[in-house]
Structure 1
Amino acid sequence: MKATWNNQVIAESNDTVVVENNHYFPIDSVKVEYLKPSPVHTTCPWKGLASYYSLDVDGMQNPDAAWYYPEPKPAAANITGYVAFWKGVKITE
């Protein structure tokens, strides 16, 4: 699977985990130079507290376009160390 935004590959992996129709990419498959920490957090009742990254690619910003669960609840332990994308990030095979 491949995550692209602003004509750049943000992440690429054969080891994504699909949860609620979202592909979660292992953090080591993500080009972390495009990720900027965001102060935004949301809560999922069964996954726990989500943290966000904004994308910064070739001078373009996409606020809060990636999220992850630093300490997911036990039901979502399989996405520890994984990042998912939205807000215009294209996920393709």
Structure 2
Amino acid sequence: MRATIDGVLLADADPQHLITIEGNFYFPPDSLTIGTLQESPTPYVCPWKGRAHYYSVETPHREHRDAAWCYPQPRRSAIETVGHDFTGYVAFDTTRVVIE
């Protein structure tokens, strides 16, 4: 599966390597296109997954603020609930990023 925005490839991974959580596809860190995600200062804490880290994407057309996120240190209980360690996996805002 591929994640793109404004024609820019953000991630590309075999579907079997993705983790689905609450309807979002989380891409493994090694599937990300280097240099496409810029750290965002936006704070967020999920009640069951823990502290999220947001990323913005700058394309030739515009900046897409907080278009992606990950959990750098998800709660152990969240990993157990999901059934997979999703540390560092990145999900994308599907209202702006095309997942296909």
Q: Percentage identity across aligned positions?
A: 42
Scaled by the length of structure 1, what TM-score is found?
A: 0.91
Number of positions where the alignment pairs a residue of Structure 1 with one of Structure 2:
92
Larger Rg: 2
Once residues 34 and 76 of structure 2 are traced to their aligned partners in structure 1, the CA distance between those partners, rounded to angstroms, is 26
Task: Determine the structure 2 residue equivalent to 1:61.
Answer: 63
Moved over 4 A (4+): none
Which of the two has greater strand per residue? Answer: 1
Task: Determine the structure 2 residue equivalent to 1:85.
Answer: 92
Task: Determine the structure 2 residue equivalent to 1:13.
Answer: 13
Once residues 62 and 82 of structure 1 are traced to their aligned partners in structure 2, the CA distance between those partners, rounded to angstroms, is 19
Q: Any unmatched runs of 5+ in structure 2? A: 80-84
Scaled by the length of structure 2, what TM-score is found?
A: 0.85
Q: Any unmatched runs of 5+ in structure 1? A: none
Task: Determine the structure 2 residue equivalent to 1:2.
Answer: 2
Larger displacement relative to structure 2 (27-36 or 46-55): 27-36
Equivalent AA in structure 1 for residue 96 of structure 2: G
